[in-house]
Amino acid sequence: MKINFITNYKNDSIFSSDQYGHYSAPFSLAREILEQKGYGIFENHDPNECHINIYRDLPINHGPNDLNINSINILHIWESPVDRPYLFNNENWLHFDLLASAYLYKNHHKINYFSDITLDEKIFIEFSKRKLACALCSNRYDGILAPRRSGQGIFGLPILQRFNLHWHNNLFDILNDRSNSLYSTRRKYLKDRSTIFDLYGKFWEKNDRQTWLPLLSYLPRESFNSLGREIPDKQKLVSQYRFCFAFENASPGNGYHSEKIHDAFHCLSVPIYYGDDSIFNLVPDNTIIYIDRKYTPLKLKEIVNSYTEESWMDMIMNIKNFISSAEYKNEYSKKAICNQIIALVDKAHKMYKEKNINIVI
């Protein structure tokens, strides 16, 4: 049986990625186990030649009429609705046999967000030798005039970047003001005059024109102090800081949280978390600093500076205990995510057999 992971990543692979945000370790492990079971594993292969096709987000170059109706088609939702609202459209979901995501939607097979970083206590740095706080993220803007990327031809234009020509689009989703987006909130805490964070990431320099919005309404430009665009070793960098900025891109509800909080945990840096308060259904409240809209940058600075070595170490011990617990390992470890992927394939395999199609493994 042929299983096809359709990602359309350019010069990259879901199984061996070194690109931040792709998180390949559980998929690599799942491929190894599935191949031992006798499956043929492919990436970006012709869907018409495969029995199970697993799409990482909706394909941008073809639509539902191009799906192989003789296979089991699975949509694995990875991105949030902030930039790709068409991913969360029920009419598009109806074209797939199975749906997979980290969201708490009915009938979604669960594949959690996770971290490829493995805890290494050898790199642990004591409190007195650490800098205060760091932030690793790209500069993004809210609103319909602020596409995430430019240089994409006509689909790099405002509005059109949130539109998929091949799938059903809800006009309200495209034109709304991104009420769930946290991009503006993130920038508020990272401005030069008030920030406690050493900032790393793309598009913070004044000459970075990655969006249309600064050209139209952010004059003069906001002032940030980026210390570097590329992060070659996230764990090595973050472990030099007591606290780590872990602000989500969005807070759409439905249990959404990304890999950011897990990355901070495995670097043994205390996450400063901004996102949906459902996070406390997933992590103990003594492992993070949770803030919301009532916190000003000044208030956050006061809170962070109030931590003594003893109180900070208490949180680090809470983090270590949590990520070493069976509860955490059963949900967010590399093996746990691998098992979630394999369970999805097993379910698809059963559905394929129920179609009464001749099957050979």
pLDDT band at 260 (very low <50, low <70, confident <90, very high): very high
270: amino acid identity, one letter: V
Residue type, 118: T
Q: Which of 170-179, 190-199, 301-310 has the highest mean pLDDT?
A: 301-310
User: What is the pLDDT, as a whole number, of residue 79?
Assistant: 86
Tell me if 115 sits within 8 A of 107, measured CB to CB: no
- Cβ pair 134, 200 in contact under 8 A: yes
In a 3-state reduction of DSSP, which class is residue 64? helix
- The number of beta carbons lying within 10 Å of the beta carbon of residue 169 is 17
DSSP state of 250: B
Residue range 299-305: average pLDDT?
Answer: 95
Dist CA 254 CA 261 (whole Å): 17
Residues ≥6 apart with Cβ < 8 Å to 340: 26, 109, 110, 111, 112
The Cα 340–Cα 112 span in angstroms is 8
pLDDT at residue 361 in the model: 46
Do residues 136 and 203 make contact, with C-beta atoms less than 8 angstroms apart? no
* H or E element at residue 244: strand 241-247
- Greater pLDDT, 209 or 160: 160
Distance separating alpha carbons of residues 18 and 315, to the nearest angstrom: 30
Is residue 135 within a helix (H) or strand (E), and if so which, with residue range? strand 131-136
Per-residue pLDDT at 179 exceeds 70:
no
**Average pLDDT of the segment spanning 194-204:** 89
Beta-carbon contacts of residue 328 (< 8 Å; ≥ 6 apart): 322
pLDDT beyond 90 at 308: yes
pLDDT at 178: 61
Q: What is the pLDDT of residue 217?
A: 47
Instruction: Specify the pTM.
Output: 0.89
Q: Which CATH architecture has domain 2-114+333-354?
A: 3-Layer(aba) Sandwich (3.40)
Domain ranges of the chain: 2-114+333-354, 121-142+178-328
pLDDT tier at 150, thresholds 50, 70, 90: very low
Name the superfamily (CATH) of residues 121-142+178-328: Glycosyl transferase family 10, C-terminal domain (3.40.50.11660)
pLDDT at position 149 over 80: no
pLDDT value at position 140? 78
Q: 232 pLDDT exceeds 60?
A: yes
Q: Which helix (H) or strand (E) holds 200?
A: strand 197-200
Residue of 360, 332, 294, 344 lying closest to 98 (CA atoms): 344
Lowest mean pLDDT among 18-27, 70-79, 104-113: 18-27
**Closest alpha carbon to 27 in 6, 2, 10, 48:** 6
CA 359/CA 130 separation, integer angstroms: 57
Q: Which two tokens stand for residue 291?
A: 């803030």
**Do the two domains 2-114+333-354 and 121-142+178-328 of this chain adopt the same fold?**
yes
Contact status, residue 132 vs residue 242, Cβ threshold 8 Å: yes
**With 0-12 CB in 10 A as exposed, 13-18 as middle and 19+ as buried, what is 30?**
buried
